[in-house]
Amino acid sequence: MKRTITKEDPYKVCFVCLGNICRSPTAEGIFQHLVNERKLSSYFFIDSAGTSAYHIGEPANSKSQWTANRHGVKLHSKARRFEASDLDEFDLVLAMDHENHRNLQRLSRNGQHSGKIKLMREFDSRPEDGEVPDPYYGGMDGFQNVFDVLKRSCENLLDELEQLVEK
């Protein structure tokens, strides 16, 4: 994760969950929002994906969108599947839970990318069990909780990465 971040060589971050319709697009939207607020958008390339192909092409879940919109965050992404080639493309790949993390590690040829695959909650000041819970089958409180967890984590991640930005 430690390298100088420039406009010519933006830092590429991909947020990954199972279906790419709840947690990872919310993380992508929050991180993009924070990057824009800090006027750092030319220093970052931000994306999200899922380890499954269940929802390819779909927008973020309506409850995720509603929750994000309440906080002034827009979720623009369309679901896609994370591919092994993405490990070559991205500087940092953030899994939402242990299962996603294991699936991403399996895609890494001989473990050569394992250092860039991390759990999202490694950047949370209150990591609990290290997982961002899946709100898909829960109520609105679950979506708000996920938003709060991801906002804290994204703020801490950006604080860390901003120190590497060459302005």
Catalytic center residues: 17, 23, 134
d(CA 45, CA 62): 24
User: Are 104 and 128 spatial neighbours (Cβ–Cβ below 8 Å)?
Assistant: no
Residues 6 or more apart from 24 whose CB is under 8 A from it? 15, 16, 17, 48, 49, 50, 96
d(CA 110, CA 116): 14
Alpha helices, H only, 53-139: 62-70, 86-89, 98-107
Closest CA to 61 of 134, 121, 126: 134
